[in-house]
Amino acid sequence: MTMTGLLPSGAPYLPPTDPLCVLHADDSLLLVDKPAGLLSVPGKADGLEDCLEARVKAAFPDALLLHRLDMDTSGVMVFARSRLAQRHLHKQFEGRVLEKSYLAMVWGTPGAERGRIDAPLICDWPRRPLQKICAETGKPSVTDWELAGQGPHGARLALTPLTGRSHQIRVHLLSIGHPILGDRFYAPKDALAAAPRLMLHAHRLRLRHPEGGAWVEYEAPAPF
């Protein structure tokens, strides 16, 4: 019997048992839909070996990791299937060529149809892995948002992060008074209790294909 690992918070790690959901596979790319509750890469402690990377490599041994999603976030992740494709995609991530779109359910409803959050982020070191806004030491961080619907507790937002800081969307939405429902790190009590999981989903990934450079787009429907 495999020992259940403990997360840094002290909670048991109970990853979902859903089969691997492949959105697209070719000689250069592999796109999968990560479920909420599954680590992207192995944790450091014993019992945290099960992760998306391990599951992907079991099915596609040539897959190469390119990026991560927070454990609590679901949605599209891309893997390279050759060193050439890996280098090509790394350049797209570094040059912000690749476009990422998210969906979130938040507490309350913004007073506008769309907006931009421009607030520098840095690790809140005594409370890590939490992040915080800091005008003096934070790194530039920008998120665009647009109203995409309503729910029982607030709005459904479409989000485009223009930078890729840790917990960027979560902290930015908290900063404008609309925390993501079910966010165990940042949501106040009522917003945390309003959903059984973090209501944040990496909905769409648009990139240039390593073979030929044509724009391609992949989507995973939001489970909420």
**Residues designated as active site:** 70
- Residue 129: cis peptide before it, omega within 30 degrees of 0: yes
Coil, helix or strand for 129? coil
Is 44 buried (19+), middle (13-18) or exposed (0-12) by CB count in 10 A?
Answer: exposed
- CA torsion 33→7→9→161, rounded to 10°? -30
Contact present, 52 and 32 (Cβ < 8 Å): yes
What is the rounded CA–CA span in Å between residue 74 and residue 220? 9
